[in-house]
Every structure is written in C-alpha cells, then in structure tokens.
Amino acid sequence: MQLPGRQEIMEKPPLDRVQELVQAAITGLVPAVRPPYFLFGHSLGALICYELIHALQQQRYPMPEHLFVSGKLAPHISRTAMRVH
C-alpha cells in the first residue's frame, strides 16, 4: 500500500489521521483480498496495520491469518521503556 503524498502518488495530499489511513486501506484492500491473507507493516505501516485489524474486526470483515510488524514498539510498551539494541 502506498500512502497519498508519497512515492508515485506524491501529488495527492497526505492523510494526517490514522483513522483516515485505516479507512482508505479498508476501501482499497477489502474488495481485493480473499482469505487466507497476511499483513505486514513497517514503522508507520505497523501502526496502520494494527489499527486496521481492529477496524476489520469491528466491521466484521475476514481477519488476516497473521500480522507481521517491524520497526515499531508494541502499543502496550512505553516509549520511555529501556530499549534493547
């Protein structure tokens, strides 16, 4: 998924709320994806995927088989927690 305001769609204004990104993802993905499917998100994409799964669940869409994330702390871990490198 490419976000508006980046890469090939640089001319489109960027979305500035996670919920807008999630809804755009649902609009683009739901018609095209058939189970089983998997999601991967890196950095901001990890946050978007996490929120996307919650929205899919609330709207009763088929859930992904697995979520893979990288480059982002888990939501329950404080930013001030000691990081391991």
pLDDT in tens, 9-66: 777 777 778 888 898 889 888 888 889 999 999 988 898 999 999 999 999 999 999 9
70 in active site? no
Strand partners, 67: 39
pLDDT reported for residue 2: 74
Q: Can you tell me the distance from the alpha carbon of 40 to that of 77, in angstroms, rounded to the nearest whole number?
A: 20
pLDDT reported for residue 38: 95
Q: Can you tell me the distance from the alpha carbon of 15 to that of 82, in angstroms, rounded to the nearest whole number?
A: 31
Amino acid at 58: Q
- pTM confidence score: 0.78
Q: Give me the catalytic one of 2, 19, 43, 57.
A: 43
